[in-house]
Structure formats: C-alpha cells, structure tokens
C-alpha cells in the first residue's frame, strides 16, 4: 500500500489511517531538519539591516548561549524570527506556533509576544505605539519577554558580533523537536526559568 484508498476522508478505514499515521510520524521526525534549512533561507529575506535575518537569528541564539540560557531559550532565540519568510505581518505568532508543542509554555509565549515588546525600541519613529507591551503588564511572563528583547533580540544587529553558525545549534534544535509534542513535563505550564544562568556562563565562553 503506497496510497490510501479513499478520496473523501469520511470513507477512510482503519488501514488507511494507520498507514497515514506512520507516514505523518516519519515526516514529523524531520521537522528539525526542515527548520534548519528554513533558517538558511532567512539570509535572503527582509533586507536593509546591517546583518541578514539569519545573522540576526544566530546572534540572538549565541547571546542566549553565552548568557547561560538553557536549550529551550537558546532554540527559541534561534527560531524567534523564522516566520519572517512566510508571515511578515505576524511572524511572532508563526514562530510561536512552531515552537509551542516542544518548548516550555514560557518560551512559546515570549516568542509569540516579542513583536509587541520590540516596538518599545522603534514604534515612536514610525507612528506606532511603543507601549504596546503594556497590554500584557499583568502577565506572569511579562518580565521574561522584556528581558528576551533587551538582551538578545534588539541588540543582535551588529555586523561585528562574532556568533556561532547553524551547525553549532543543530543538536539543540534536533533535541527539542525530537520531544513528545505537548508533553506536560516539557511544557511546564506556569513555570518560569531564568533567561540567564551565571553558573554556566564561564564554561560557554568565548
């Protein structure tokens, strides 16, 4: 059997759907590989900055790594702008949707909202609201998103900053997307993990 028998889903039987489940599981297992390839495409996306979007993503992740961040934070920093290619008007939500089944709730929320938080740095120059983040002032992850943007996002447009390449982060991305999706032990709803960990910083430099 290399294709299902049905042409309308309601006509499928157990054999059809067990067959599709095997294919979907195999396809999902290669998510990390596709995301790493998509990162390369960021090199050809939105221009005008002193670095490419890929360079920005690698700088963000490198800063997170050097600050002692855990794997969830580092991978979130790496992929936070992955939506720029296909969803330029809601890239933050797009990236969060990709990450949400596989990282802490805290990290997915920060990625989802970082676009509004970033407005603090530029919106007043283009007629926008630099205080859009205030809508989330009472959210438990508010401070985490503010620090994510201050430490790793807004500062990562520096052509002189020496960052790691994609291969450095490959194993971390593969580890995250090999997890069981929506595993409560991974999602850890309501739990806050510090963005930085001084106890491991020295071991991660230069």
DSSP characters over 84-145:
GTT-TTSHHHHHHHHHTTTS-HHHHHHHHHHHHHHGGGTGGGTTS-TTGGGGGTTSTTHHHH
pLDDT attached to residue 205 = 77
Residue burial 132-152, b: 16+ Cβ < 10 Å; e: rest: bbeebeeeebbebbbbbbebb
The CATH architecture that domain 9-204 belongs to is: Orthogonal Bundle (1.10)
* Residue 154 CA to its chain's centroid (Å): 15
Residue 163 is given by DSSP the state -
Q: Answer whether 0.85 is exceeded by the pTM.
A: yes
Token couple for 16: 């059809």
- Residue length of the chain: 206
Nearest to 104 by CA among 148, 149, 152, 72: 72
pLDDT, tens digit, 9 for 90 and up, residues 40-84: 988 876 678 999 999 999 999 999 999 999 999 999 999 999 999
Asked if pLDDT for residue 206 goes beyond 80, the answer is: no
Domain ranges of the chain: 9-204
In tens, the pLDDT along 83-111 reads 998 899 999 999 999 999 999 999 999 99
């Amino acid at each position: 059997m290399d294709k299902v028998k049905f042409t309308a889903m309601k006509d499928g039987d157990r054999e059809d759907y067990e067959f599709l489940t095997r294919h979907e599981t195999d396809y999902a297992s290669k998510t990390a590989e596709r995301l790493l390839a998509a990162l390369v495409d960021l090199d050809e996306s939105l221009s005008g900055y002193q670095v490419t979007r890929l360079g920005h993503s690698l700088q963000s992740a490198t800063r997170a790594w050097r600050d002692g961040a855990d794997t969830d934070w580092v991978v979130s920093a790496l992929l936070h702008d992955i939506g720029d290619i296909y969803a330029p008007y809601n890239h933050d939500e797009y990236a969060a949707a990709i990450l949400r089944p596989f990282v802490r709730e805290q990290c997915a929320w920060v990625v989802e909202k970082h676009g509004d938080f970033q407005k603090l740095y530029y919106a007043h120059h283009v007629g926008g609201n630099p205080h859009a983040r205030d809508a989330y002032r009472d959210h438990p992850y508010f401070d985490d998103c503010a620090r994510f943007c201050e430490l790793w996002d807004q500062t990562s447009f520096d052509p002189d900053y020496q960052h790691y390449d994609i291969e450095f982060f490959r194993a971390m991305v593969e580890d995250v997307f090999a997890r069981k999706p929506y595993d409560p032990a991974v999602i850890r709803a309501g739990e806050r993990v510090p963005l930085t960990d001084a106890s491991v910083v020295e071991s991660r430099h230069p």
